[in-house]
């Protein structure tokens, strides 16, 4: 029994993973430089966050939302340093999956791989749907009307038709009154899509065709090769950074400092309400670590690329947030396209910039889709190599030198759901899965043996013996002083189920404080582990339940297939 349990945590030998030539025979091309990797990181991070979700976060947090960007960047920064050490020591594809396999064992590695599937797949479905919305909006700005029934999912249109029917029959409304009410614009658009859609055999033809098309085009580019993908990424990143900088420079002239007062109108609670959207904007940085086997010098360039992209994107996010909240009151920013709003007739009245911002949003969405479509197949490839997935997942195209089957499957997994479904409400599920991966990567660094090769990147060692308990105690005191209402509400039984994640975090924090004191743990990985764990508590009990269901499904697949076919299992059996 004990042996069976311990086999769940068998580890891949670190000395084998540290070899640069571990998988050279399988033919991935080494094409990426530090500039390419930085561009890929920016491509993944600067997406919907800067063009849409930043508005909602600013509405709740006011100008103080910049502190949320700073805190999220610091939390991600701790993780980036941990990723950077792993990337320097283990120049293999697979990202957090491979790192966890080497330090925490097979079962946890499977869980991370399974979560990364969720991160990339659900995240890219949401991105594809968002891209479609921006694209059809861009066309309408030039007088080109895209058929509404080919620009949304079936479920949204069906629900709208039922809602409108209820309003007509029981609410005493008319179609004319609903169309005249701006609050029902989105509802009526969906209703009109339902009513205008052609049907075959009584089934209405409603699908998000642009989402399907862009996913197939990006997947084809990723399949053709990493060189072609990096050239496209580099070009698109230059365009969108140029547009973001232009927005900042123009917006500065319309900033009214009185809009920054009060700076935190809704206090800390208001700032934290935007945590899901803000963190969702940052999660892409880890995807560039999946390209380790395609880097010219992964030990040197991957750490630099990850750190540089995080710093650049954080500065841009903070500047955009300050400009937005300076140009207009934070109360006006709960809109889907805040940049278009502040440059529209209500604020700056610069209509010529609308088309440029729309192009920037489309480019941003495209690059996010590209990077995630690059990352997912390489994780599947690594899992296929290890036997946790069927061998076909590890197949490399002899012509294009990319993971062929995994790339095609990734395209299908993203394209088909984005055609028919609306998954924007489960982006929190993507965030919680990613945060869990970050937690285990930070924990994994604590299990790494000391780095002997000084040419490789290492997380700077700062003894957390006294610092971790002191930092946690300071945070607790400040929370009690500045957020006493929130602390007192925590001890109210009402809504207790939603407080369970926070209770678990407090227990984890105490454990880490004790371990840091007793074991002299390194400060940075511990802070990364704790900050990401705290962010997980902000995502609500519903997302934890969904996350738990996803993990259970993953366990079933692992015990039904992965554990039996693991190459580590076969190696152990042959040794016996």
Predicted confidence at residue 276, as pLDDT, reads 66
Output the CA–CA distances (angstroms, integers) from residue 440 to 116, 389, 542, in the order listed. 12, 21, 22
Residue 437 lies in a domain: yes
Instruction: Count structural domains, the chain.
Output: 2
Do 78 and 173 belong to one domain? no
Q: Which residue has the tokens 């630099």?
A: 304
Residue 146 lies in a domain: no
Do 102 and 189 belong to one domain? no
Cβ-contact 106, 387 below 8 angstroms: no
Residue 147 lies in a domain: no
Predicted confidence at residue 446, as pLDDT, reads 92
Of the candidates 99, 571, 566, 50, the residue with the CA atom closest to the CA atom of residue 313: 50
Do 172 and 118 belong to one domain? no
Distance CA 44, CA 281 (A): 8
Q: Which residue has the tokens 């990352």?
A: 375
Predicted confidence at residue 25, as pLDDT, reads 44
| Residue 435 structure tokens | 């945060």
Residue 460 lies in a domain: no
Do 194 and 220 belong to one domain? no
Of the candidates 284, 261, 241, the residue with the CA atom closest to the CA atom of residue 79: 284
- 196 is in which domain, residue-wise? 154-206
Do 71 and 200 belong to one domain? no
Cβ-contact 28, 234 below 8 angstroms: no
Residue 197 lies in a domain: yes
Label residue 29 left, alpha or beta by phi (over 0 means left) and psi (-120 to 50 means alpha).
beta
Cβ-contact 10, 105 below 8 angstroms: yes
| Residue 54 structure tokens | 């930043």
Indicate the residue among 191, 206, 221 that finishes a domain: 206
Of the candidates 555, 549, 565, 573, the residue with the CA atom closest to the CA atom of residue 110: 555
Distance CA 395, CA 398 (A): 9
Cβ-contact 453, 238 below 8 angstroms: no
Do 168 and 310 belong to one domain? no
Q: Cβ neighbours of residue 246 under 8 Å, at least 6 residues apart?
A: 356
DSSP 8-state secondary structure symbol assigned to residue 461: P
Distance CA 563, CA 376 (A): 21
Of the candidates 129, 37, 42, the residue with the CA atom closest to the CA atom of residue 368: 42
Burial of 209 (0-12, 13-18, 19+ CB in 10 A): middle
Do 50 and 164 belong to one domain? no
Do 232 and 251 belong to one domain? yes
Indicate the residue among 146, 172, 206 that finishes a domain: 206
Predicted confidence at residue 213, as pLDDT, reads 93
Residue 361 lies in a domain: yes
pLDDT tens per residue across all 576 residues of the chain: 556 666 777 888 877 777 665 555 456 788 889 999 999 999 988 876 777 778 888 888 888 888 888 888 888 889 889 998 888 888 888 888 999 998 999 999 999 999 888 778 888 888 888 888 888 878 887 888 889 888 888 888 888 888 888 888 886 778 888 888 767 777 888 888 888 899 888 788 888 899 999 999 999 999 998 889 999 999 999 998 998 999 899 999 999 999 998 888 887 777 877 776 677 677 777 788 888 888 988 888 988 998 899 899 889 989 998 998 999 888 888 776 788 888 888 888 888 888 888 888 889 889 989 998 998 899 999 999 999 999 999 999 888 889 999 999 999 999 888 887 765 555 666 778 888 888 999 999 998 888 777 777 889 999 999 999 999 999 888 877 766 665 556 555 555 566 788 888 989 999 999 999 999 999 999 999 998 898 888 777 888 888 889 899 999 999 999 888 888 766 655 554
Backbone angles phi, psi at 295, to 5 degrees: -90, 145
Helix (H) or strand (E) holding 274: none
The CATH code of the domain that includes 353 is 1.20.1740.10
Q: Is the dihedral of CA 315, 75, 430, 409 positive or negative?
A: positive
| ω into 262 cis (within 30 of 0) | yes
Do 192 and 130 belong to one domain? no
Question: Strand runs (DSSP E) across 123-271, as ranges?
Answer: 199-200, 203-204
Residue 480 lies in a domain: no
Distance CA 97, CA 484 (A): 40
Predicted confidence at residue 145, as pLDDT, reads 86
Predicted confidence at residue 261, as pLDDT, reads 87
Do 119 and 86 belong to one domain? yes
Do 252 and 105 belong to one domain? yes
Q: What pTM value is reported for the model?
A: 0.86
Predicted confidence at residue 488, as pLDDT, reads 56
Do 360 and 299 belong to one domain? yes
Residue 512 lies in a domain: no
């Amino acid at each position: 029994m004990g042996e069976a349990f311990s086999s769940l945590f068998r580890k891949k030998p670190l000395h084998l993973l540290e070899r640069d030539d571990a998988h050279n025979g399988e033919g991935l091309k080494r094409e990426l430089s530090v500039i390419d990797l930085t561009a890929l990181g920016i491509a993944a991070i600067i997406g919907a966050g800067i063009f849409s979700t930043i508005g909602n976060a600013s509405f709740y947090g006011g100008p103080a939302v910049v502190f949320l960007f700073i805190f999220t960047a610091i939390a991600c920064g701790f993780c980036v340093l941990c990723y950077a050490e792993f990337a320097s020591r283990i120049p293999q594809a697979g990202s957090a999956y491979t790192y966890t396999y080497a330090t925490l064992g097979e079962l946890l590695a499977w869980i991370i791989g399974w979560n990364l599937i969720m991160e990339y797949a659900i995240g890219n479905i949401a991105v594809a749907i968002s891209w479609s919305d921006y694209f059809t909006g861009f066309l309408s700005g030039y007088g080109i009307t895209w058929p509404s029934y080919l620009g949304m999912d079936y479920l949204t249109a069906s629900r709208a038709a039922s809602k409108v029917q209820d309003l007509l029959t029981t609410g005493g409304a008319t179609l004319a009154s609903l169309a005249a009410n701006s609050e029902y614009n989105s509802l009526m658009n969906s209703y009109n899509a339902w009513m205008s859609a052609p049907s075959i055999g009584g089934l209405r033809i409603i699908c998000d065709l642009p989402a399907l098309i862009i996913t197939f085009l990006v997947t084809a580019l990723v399949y053709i090769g990493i060189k072609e993908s990096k050239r496209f990424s580099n070009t698109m990143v230059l365009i969108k950074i140029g547009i973001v900088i232009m927005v900042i420079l123009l917006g500065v002239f319309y900033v009214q400092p009185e809009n920054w007062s009060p700076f935190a109108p809704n206090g800390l609670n208001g700032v934290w309400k935007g945590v899901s959207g803000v963190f969702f904007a940052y999660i892409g940085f880890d995807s560039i670590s999946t390209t380790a086997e395609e880097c010219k010098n992964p030990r040197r360039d991957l750490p630099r690329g990850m750190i540089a992209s995080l710093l650049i994107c954080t500065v841009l996010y903070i500047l955009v947030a300050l400009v937005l909240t300076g140009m207009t009151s934070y109360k006006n920013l709960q809109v889907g396209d805040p940049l278009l709003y502040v440059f529209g007739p209500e604020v700056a009245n610069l209509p010529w910039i609308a088309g440029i911002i729309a192009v920037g949003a489309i480019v941003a969405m495209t690059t996010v889709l590209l990077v995630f479509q690059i990352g997912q197949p390489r994780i599947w490839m690594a899992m296929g190599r290890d036997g946790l997935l069927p061998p076909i997942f590890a197949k490399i195209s002899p012509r294009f030198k990319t993971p062929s089957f995994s790339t095609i499957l990734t395209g299908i997994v993203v394209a088909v759901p984005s055609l028919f479904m609306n998954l924007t409400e489960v982006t929190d599920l993507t965030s919680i899965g990613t945060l869990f991966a970050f937690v285990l990567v930070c924990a994994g660094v604590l299990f790494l043996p000391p780095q002997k090769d000084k040419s490789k990147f290492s997380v700077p060692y700062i003894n957390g013996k006294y610092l971790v308990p002191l930092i946690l105690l300071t945070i607790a005191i400040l929370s009690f002083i500045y957020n006493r209402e929130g602390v007192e509400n925590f001890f109210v039984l009402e809504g207790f189920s939603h407080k369970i994640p926070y209770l678990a975090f407090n227990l984890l924090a105490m454990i880490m404080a004790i371990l840091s004191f007793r074991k002299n743990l390194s400060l940075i990985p511990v802070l990364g582990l704790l900050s990401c764990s705290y962010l997980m508590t902000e995502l609500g009990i519903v997302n934890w339940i969904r996350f738990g269901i996803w993990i259970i499904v993953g366990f079933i697949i692992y015990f039904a297939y992965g554990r039996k076919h693991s190459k580590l299992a076969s190696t152990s059996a042959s040794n016996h």
